[in-house]
Amino acid sequence: MADGRPDRIKAVGVTHVYPSVAGQREVVAIQDLNMAVREGEFAVLLGPSGCGKSTFLYLCGGFITPTSGQVLLGGAPITGPGPNRGIVFQEFVLYPWKTVLGNIRFGLEIQKVPAAEMGERAMYYVRLAGLEGFEHAYPHTLSGGMKQRVALARALVKQPKLLLLDEPLGALDKKLREQTQFELVNIQDRTGVTFIVVTHDQEEAMTISSRIGVMNQGRIVQIGTPTEIYEFPNSRFVADFIGSVNMFSGRIVDEDNDYVRISSEEGACTIYINHGVAAPPDAELWVAVRPEKIHITREAPTDTRENCTQGVVQDIAYMGDLSIFNVRLETGKMVKVTQTNLMRHAEDRITWEDRVYLHWHPGSGVVLNT
């Protein structure tokens, strides 16, 4: 609770095992998981398929009970589904025979909220979700993005303390998904409800979250802000899973408290890092360098002794705002470099089969030993 906010939900030593069925082996979905999400936070669980993130969401919702450990909501153990939690699935499951307003009001009708309050609350969330003018429309007439907003408003109208979202934007096309990400952040900010979102989309997680929990094989392997996760990954798995990265293996050849030099045979260079690292002298290490942090030039930089290698451009992908270069080093290793396209007509543009220098700042690399 670094910012003073209390924990809204907390997992303490949680393990969940799905029992064997029809001769199939039991599946350990969650292993000794510990994680806390603070009140009013927008947290994202990110990881590959099968890592346990959806299982954790269902534990938070009370739909399943952990095999061991506890999931606490406001300090009390979760024993089943409750009105203080809402959930939005990837498939929005709107009632086709009800209008937008009818879908949003449905939960309040079940709770037998007085008619006047029900109407006022439902219309507030219609406006909050940007659905004014569509109150009497039926789901089949709505776009995917609008359906998602109806599902969100239907969950929020009950004023839950916690909202769980399982791949909520997965069914939307790329452009609509990007637009809806910011709408989701805006709605969470205005309501102050604690959000936990499950996704396997790294870009989505970086865009919407205040903190990310990266999962692998049923465990949380790193928790941090998007910047911390991207710039300071704690393992090769996290570095490789979040965005694109170049990984150079090597061994320490010189070190002090405020620097380290690593000889990388596959990178055909000596890598200088402008801070010390905790690792045995003979240990194999990996240096992760993001593609956008590598400079690509035909001309040699001023100093080629460190953080500099050479290769030949094998492939180029023009993405509009940037270009991606795949460069084959003399050792055969492929290195990815991204370069922003600042001008429409760049003179002397680097092209296929060009021999180039790749070089980067001493602070750009992250040393990993796991």
Q: Does residue 1 form part of some domain?
A: no
Domain shared by 198 and 259, yes or no: no
The answer to whether 96 touches 150, Cβ cutoff 8 Å, is: no
Per residue of the chain (370 residues), give pLDDT as tens. Answer: 446 778 899 999 999 998 887 777 888 999 999 999 999 999 999 999 889 999 999 999 999 999 999 999 988 998 888 777 888 876 778 889 999 999 999 888 888 888 888 889 899 989 888 889 999 999 999 988 888 889 888 888 888 889 998 887 776 677 777 777 888 888 888 888 899 999 888 888 998 899 999 999 999 999 999 999 999 999 999 999 998 999 999 998 888 888 889 999 999 999 999 987 777 767 789 999 999 999 999 999 999 999 999 999 999 998 888 899 999 999 999 999 999 887 766 657 889 999 999 999 999 999 998 8
Residues 99 and 36 both lie in one domain:
yes
Please tell me the distance from the alpha carbon of residue 197 to that of residue 212, in angstroms, as a whole number.
10
**Letter string b/e over residues 168-177, b meaning 16 or more CB atoms within 10 A of that residue's CB:** bbbbbeeebb
Compute the radius of gyration of the chain from its Cα atoms.
Answer: 25
Q: Give, in order, the Cα–Cα distances in Å from 120 to each of 108, 111, 138, 145, 153.
A: 11, 15, 20, 24, 13
Assess whether 178 and 51 both reside in one domain.
Answer: yes
Distance, in Å, from the CA atom of 137 to the CA atom of 13, rounded to the nearest integer, reads: 46
pLDDT at 1: 40
Q: Are 104 and 125 in contact, with CB atoms under 8 Å apart?
A: yes
Place of tokens 């406001």: 74
Treating both helix axes as pointing N-terminal to C-terminal, what angle do 144-156 and 115-128 enclose, rounded to 10 degrees? 140
Verify that 85 and 214 share a domain, yes or no.
yes
Sheet holding 334-340, edge to edge: 295-297, 355-359, 308-318, 322-329, 334-340
Q: Is residue 324 part of a domain?
A: yes
Rounded distance, CA 22 to CA 207, Å? Answer: 42
Map tokens 């296929």 to a residue.
Answer: 352
Confirm whether 326 is domain-assigned: yes
Predicted pLDDT at 266: 94
Backbone angles phi, psi at 361, to 5 degrees: -75, 150
Reported as type and span, the H/E element at residue 365 is none
Task: Answer yes or no: are the C-beta atoms of 308 and 356 closer than 8 Å.
Answer: no
End of a domain among 194, 221, 237? 237
Q: What is the CATH number of the domain that holds 108?
A: 3.40.50.300
Residues 158 and 255 in one domain: no
Helix (H, G, I), strand (E, B) or coil at 241: helix
- Written as one letter, the residue type at 58 is Y
In a shared domain, residues 142 and 13: yes
For residues 81 and 100, state if they share a domain. yes
Buried b or exposed e, range 8-44, using 16+ CB within 10 angstroms: bbbbeebebeeeeeeeeeeeebbeebebbbbbbbbbb
CB 312 within 8 A of CB 356: yes
Rounded to an integer, what distance in angstroms lies between the CA atom of residue 329 and that of residue 310?
6
Same domain, 254 and 216: no
Q: Are 138 and 47 contained in the same domain?
A: yes
Residues 192 and 227 in one domain: yes
Residue 215 lies in a domain: yes
Q: Which domain holds residue 269?
A: 244-368
Entry pTM: 0.85
Query: Would you list the DSSP string of 201-238?
Result: -HHHHHHH-SEEEEEETTEEEEEE-HHHHHHS-SSHHH
CATH number at residue 322: 2.40.50.140
Statement to judge: residues 26 and 61 lie in one domain: yes
- Does residue 129 form part of some domain? yes
Residue the block writes with tokens 């907003």: 149
- On whether both 231 and 340 belong to a single domain, the answer is no
Alpha carbon 63 to chain centroid, angstroms: 24
Residues 51, 62: Cα–Cα separation, whole Å:
19
The reply to whether 358 falls in a domain is: yes
Final residue of a domain: which of 237, 268, 284?
Answer: 237
Q: Helix, strand or coil for residue 139?
A: helix
Q: Which amino acid is at 271?
A: I
Secondary structure E strands in the chain: 7-18, 27-38, 42-46, 68-73, 76-77, 85-88, 162-166, 194-199, 211-216, 219-224, 246-256, 259-264, 269-273, 284-289, 295-297, 308-318, 322-329, 334-340, 355-359, 366-368
Question: What are the residues facing 76 on neighbouring strands?
Answer: 73
2 occurs within a structural domain: no
Q: Which amino acid type is present at position 73?
A: L
The Cα–Cα gap between 253 and 230 comes to: 27
Looking at 204, 237, 270, the residue that finishes a domain is 237
The domain tally of the chain equals 2
Residue 281, in any domain of the structure: yes
